[in-house]
């Protein structure tokens, strides 16, 4: 078995070298999402200790189609850092390994969600606005050969994001009927 700290360090090294590594899931129990999140958390702590600032969270693998493509049965999440917000700027592709772009809807919170027993009403009241967004995903796992353990440990395959210029209040948009084309 591979250690959490060793695996976290291997993933972090990919950011510096631009290299990829083989899937990490083989070093852990099948579907071991607890260990995968522990790896993600180890890197989050490392980066925050290095001065990076957390600015949000991302949820991935929410589409049943994408889950089927990757052979997973659940969404994942990752951390967003302020230095990955490319809104109003240019995307430096030299910081990316094997990027892909996804159209998203970002929900920007006006207050933190801290209660472990949240209701839908709690979440909706915490959202300040929604905005069209682009997410640049990237994988430190070679050839995107990811499973749920790989993508969770790799911070939800997070890389960069761009928030659109026109925020909308939730009361002004049909969340079920809205669509997006990339």
Q: Into which CATH architecture does domain 4-169 fall?
A: Alpha-Beta Complex (3.90)
pLDDT at 176: 83
Give the residue from 54, 52, 53 showing the smallest Cα distance to 77.
54
Helix (H) or strand (E) holding 42: helix 33-49
How many angstroms from the chain centroid is the CA of residue 86?
15
pLDDT at 125: 93
Give the residue from 100, 104, 85, 181 showing the smallest Cα distance to 141.
100
Q: CB-side exposure of 18: number of CA atoms within 13 Å?
A: 5
- pLDDT tens for residues 114-147? 999 999 999 999 999 999 999 999 999 999 999 9
Give the residue from 105, 102, 120, 92 showing the smallest Cα distance to 156.
102
- Which parts of the chain have pLDDT scores under 70? 1-2
pLDDT at 73: 87
Predicted TM-score of the model (pTM): 0.91
Q: Where are the domains of the chain?
A: 4-169
pLDDT at 76: 96
């Amino acid at each position: 078995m591979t250690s959490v700290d060793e695996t976290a360090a291997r993933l972090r090294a990919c950011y510096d070298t631009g290299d990829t590594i083989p899937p990490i899931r083989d070093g852990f129990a099948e579907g071991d999402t607890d260990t995968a999140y522990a790896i993600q958390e180890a890197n989050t702590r490392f980066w925050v200790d290095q001065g990076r600032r957390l600015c949000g969270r991302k949820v991935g693998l929410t589409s049943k189609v994408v889950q089927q493509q990757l052979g997973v049965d659940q969404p994942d999440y990752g951390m967003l850092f302020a230095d990955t917000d490319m809104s109003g700027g240019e995307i430096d592709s030299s910081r990316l390994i094997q990027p892909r772009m996804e159209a998203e809807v970002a929900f920007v919170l006006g207050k933190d969600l801290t209660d472990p027993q949240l209701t839908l009403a709690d979440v909706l009241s915490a959202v300040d606005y929604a905005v069209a967004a682009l997410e640049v995903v990237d994988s430190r796992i070679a050839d995107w050969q990811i499973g749920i353990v790989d993508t969770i440990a790799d911070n939800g395959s997070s890389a960069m994001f761009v928030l659109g210029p026109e925020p909308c209040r939730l009361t002004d948009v049909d969340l079920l009927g809205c669509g997006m084309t990339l």
